[in-house]
Amino acid sequence: MDMAAKFQDQLVFHMTGRRAGEGLAPVDAEAMRPALFAGYRDLTRLRHDFPLVLIETGKADGFAASLSLLVNRVLEALAPRGIEGERLRKHVLRLEREVRAMLGSGRAGTLSELWEEAAAKLGSGPDESVAKVLALAGASLNLDGELADCDERLPERFMVHAWRHVQAQKAALFHGHLDHLKRKLSDILRAAFVHSEAGQQPAALKAAVGGMHAEDFDFSAMSRLVGRNVPLDELPASRRARIERVLGVLRSQRFHAPKLGGASAAYGFLFDNVAGAVAAYRERLPEAVELVKAIAIAELEARNGYDEADHDPFFEAYGEGSLSADDLALLPDYLVCIPADRNDAPENAGLMDTLSSGLPVKVVVQVTDLLEEASLGTGHFAFGVRSARLATTAMGLGGMFVLQAAASSLYRLRNRVEGGMGCRGPALFSIFAGSPAAAGSLPRYLTAAAAMESRAFPAFVYDAAAGDNWATRFSLEHNRDPETDWPVEPFEYADAGLQRVREEVAFTYADFAMCDRRNAEHFAVAPRERWTAAMVPAAQWLALAERDAAERVPYLLAVDANDVLHRVVIDARMMQATRRCLLLWHRLQEHGGIHDSHAERLLARERAAWEAKKAEEIEALRKSAGSVAQPANEGAPAPVAAAPAAPAEAAAAEEVKPPSDDPWIETARCPSCNECQLINPQMFGYNDNKQAFIKDVNAGTYRQLVEAAEACQVAIIHPGKPKNPAEPGLDELMKRAEAFN
């Protein structure tokens, strides 16, 4: 078959979505996956953020930690450097993998429970020292908590745990302040009683002295001596009644659970729908007003600053409208975790009104399907807007905290989540956890990560309280390569001649859509013998001019169950959805100050003005030079002054320098596995984001650089060339380093 016929089959499918003849095969949605996913067949054998340990409340390590991070800490503390600690490291890493596999198979429990179970399994062999080593490692963890994998329950479990962590901190501060006020008010009443007639009675004096010396005193005689001219009550009746009333309110409050017992009497603040939370807030509002008013009165009384003439009228008029954001911040926030199948329920229809009203409510919305919204009119409309656009819509309301993220990135965003749960005012958390019913054989972690990587559900944070401009309020920093259209990764494969080929492959919305078996009709597999020069990767096709794009066919790289590489042709409808996704990503980029059209327009205007001014100066120099040179050599051409190059031209004219031979790390891609620091913590360090960089290249050997590059799970360490030419074994080490340079 000639080239034109091959291209015609592919073009017909691209334009119509119909396969003509035998030139294209249907996509096996169950087996086919994006080529960049080829290395993620078994997540239990890979060290990554999951599973998480939801740390017990009250610990100083935050509210969540990665199992890999905790294992690294144990190894740092117990395993000696070098070969001496290799045996311990090997056994502990096997145990970590076993725990990960147990969770993947559906096992649940705390870290201590699963660690003990995995240790018993791995230590049951003839070598008794293995069990002792693993038991010692388990005792060194120093914390515990429920283990959580990236499954359908993760968004709610993670967000509820973060909320409880923040509320526990708030409750500790509240009870500390409340206990201080109750103690001060009680002291006032106690002092007044002691100095009153009732306080000077024999029984009261005896109680004050205590039973140890009760037989040494005549309390009746003592009462006659000290009780002369004592007032009936040292406190005015109005003040005593006020203090007793305030103490009663403080002791009976039901917003924060008592520190010791009585928790069942406290209000609950966790809801599964917006209407229920709003109803509870309104029902409890009068009681909240009384509590806030009691605290304010207690603070005045504690410092003897209550003036009845000034303060009585103020507190008599104190009502719901008097509550400020600071007042509401004293009380627990309401948390609404909406189940994924209830986003469009009537009881949640008032979400936007609730958020814009400023109520102290934190709402977690779980999004499980992005792809069905790609077609106009077929998506489920939640809260009046499409669920995938919910966070951007809420951000437009202003005055609140908004976070959008995939479940796979929640751990990396844990500090942002904690900040949102602790903010004063409303907050919205829109979390995509994947849709296993539509994702075939891919684990939920991969579908969630794919949504974020493909820009279908990018991560962003909007914090209205962070500043007074978009640069301080809005952040896209948690996305891979936020300044580009699509993330790009190197991909290596063997061609038909079994030669290694390395390409830079972009991960697009179409890649994400191919993970969903419902979209199989939008893709078709082109056999290798039908690959043509007219086939263009999808990301490049989108960048083509319309006329050029009409002469090309977009494709993706995919692998089947046997990791055989295929080109998959994409139809026009899916490419339209991909282009629409890119447009929405560009809008978010502008919010983040990336490719800002206003800034680019201003820059173009300033550059045009600069070039015009320089042209005028050049023309003036030319005329001046001509008038000076004409008498000396009439008729000779006037010398022309060299025009200063524009900044862009000057930059383009600069000599391109060869790459440095210094070692370096792609810090932004570091997964915080800590493998390099285990090799040499003086050479490798962590920045504030817990990502590796080369701290001091002279603090170690070239061998350690190469070993760190080989141990790195994501191949981001580049050893460069050796600094010490006398180091032993350089020939072998430089050959090993070639793959990473």
Average pLDDT for 8-33: 83
Task: Give residue 691's pLDDT.
Answer: 87
Average pLDDT for 284-303: 95
Burial state string for 228-267 with b = 16 or more CB within 10 A and e = fewer than 16: eeeeeebbeeebbebbeebbebbeebebbbeeeeeeeeeb
8 A C-beta contact, residue 576 and residue 570 = no
DSSP strand pairing (361-367 vs 381-382): unpaired
Average pLDDT for 197-219: 56
Angle between helix 702-711 and helix 730-738 axes, rounded to 10 deg: 30
Which of these, 577, 571, 536, 541, lies nearest to 9 by C-alpha position? 571
Average pLDDT for 356-378: 78
pLDDT band at 640 (very low <50, low <70, confident <90, very high): very low
Q: How many CB atoms lie within 10 A of CB 471?
A: 12
pLDDT for residue 226 is more than 60: no
**Lowest-confidence region among 375-379, 416-420, 524-528:** 375-379
pLDDT band at 213 (very low <50, low <70, confident <90, very high): low
Task: Give residue 658's pLDDT.
Answer: 39
- Chain segment 321-339, per-residue pLDDT in tens: 899 888 999 999 999 999 9
Which of these, 507, 479, 372, lies nearest to 33 by C-alpha position? 507
DSSP secondary structure, 569-619, as one string: EE-HHHHHHHHHHHHHHHHHHHHTTSS-HHHHHHHHHHHHHHHHHHHHHHH
Tell me how far CA of residue 223 lies from CA of 197, 204, 212, 234, in angstroms. 9, 9, 19, 17
Average pLDDT for 127-140: 83
Average pLDDT for 109-121: 91
Q: How many CB atoms lie within 10 A of CB 193?
A: 18
The residues, any chain, with a CB within 8 Å of residue 14's CB and separated by 6 or more, are 553, 554, 569, 570, 571, 572, 575
SS3 499: coil
Average pLDDT for 326-353: 92
Task: Give residue 654's pLDDT.
Answer: 37
SS3 114: helix
Q: Mean pLDDT for the chain? A: 84
What's the half-sphere exposure (Cβ side, CA atoms, 13 Å) at 29? Answer: 17
Average pLDDT for 629-635: 47
**Lowest-confidence region among 78-92, 127-141, 640-654:** 640-654
pLDDT band at 366 (very low <50, low <70, confident <90, very high): very high
Higher pLDDT among residues 306 and 233, named by residue: 306
pLDDT for residue 287 is more than 70: yes
Task: Give residue 7's pLDDT.
Answer: 76
SS3 percent helix, strand, coil of the chain, rounded to 5, is: 50, 15, 35
- The listed range with the strongest mean pLDDT (207-211, 332-336, 392-396, 640-644) is 332-336
Q: How many CB atoms lie within 10 A of CB 460?
A: 23
DSSP one-letter code for 643? P
Give the separation between CA 410 and CA 671, rounded to whole angstroms: 14
Higher pLDDT among residues 705 and 220, named by residue: 705
8 A C-beta contact, residue 434 and residue 368 = yes
8 A C-beta contact, residue 701 and residue 726 = no
**Structural Rg of the chain based on CA atoms:** 35
Task: Give residue 203's pLDDT.
Answer: 60
The residues, any chain, with a CB within 8 Å of residue 490's CB and separated by 6 or more, are 502, 503, 504, 505
Task: Give residue 651's pLDDT.
Answer: 35
SS3 460: strand
Average pLDDT for 95-106: 91
- Chain segment 561-602, per-residue pLDDT in tens: 888 999 999 999 999 999 999 999 999 999 998 887 777 778
pLDDT band at 415 (very low <50, low <70, confident <90, very high): very high
Report which residue type is found at 439: A
Task: Give residue 227's pLDDT.
Answer: 53
Structure token digits, residue 687: 């920045």
Bridge partners, 81 (sequence order)? none
Task: Give residue 653's pLDDT.
Answer: 35
**Lowest-confidence region among 218-222, 581-585, 684-688:** 218-222
Give the separation between CA 493 and CA 390, rounded to whole angstroms: 40
Give the separation between CA 50 and CA 447, rounded to whole angstroms: 14
pLDDT for residue 2 is more than 90: no
Tell me how far CA of residue 298 lies from CA of 247, 287, 306, in angstroms. 8, 16, 9
Give the separation between CA 246 and CA 235, rounded to whole angstroms: 15
Task: Give residue 645's pLDDT.
Answer: 40
Measured between its terminal Cα atoms, the distance across the chain in Å is: 42
8 A C-beta contact, residue 438 and residue 516 = yes
Give the separation between CA 737 and CA 741, rounded to whole angstroms: 6
pLDDT for residue 731 is more than 80: yes
pLDDT for residue 631 is more than 70: no
> Which own/partner pairs from 300-303 qualify as long-range (CB within 8 Å, at least 24 positions apart)?
301/184, 301/185, 301/188, 301/239, 301/242, 301/243, 301/246, 302/180, 302/181, 302/184, 302/185
Which of these, 284, 282, 251, lies nearest to 267 by C-alpha position? 284
Which of these, 422, 392, 331, 425, lies nearest to 590 by C-alpha position? 392
pLDDT band at 741 (very low <50, low <70, confident <90, very high): confident
pLDDT for residue 263 is more than 70: no
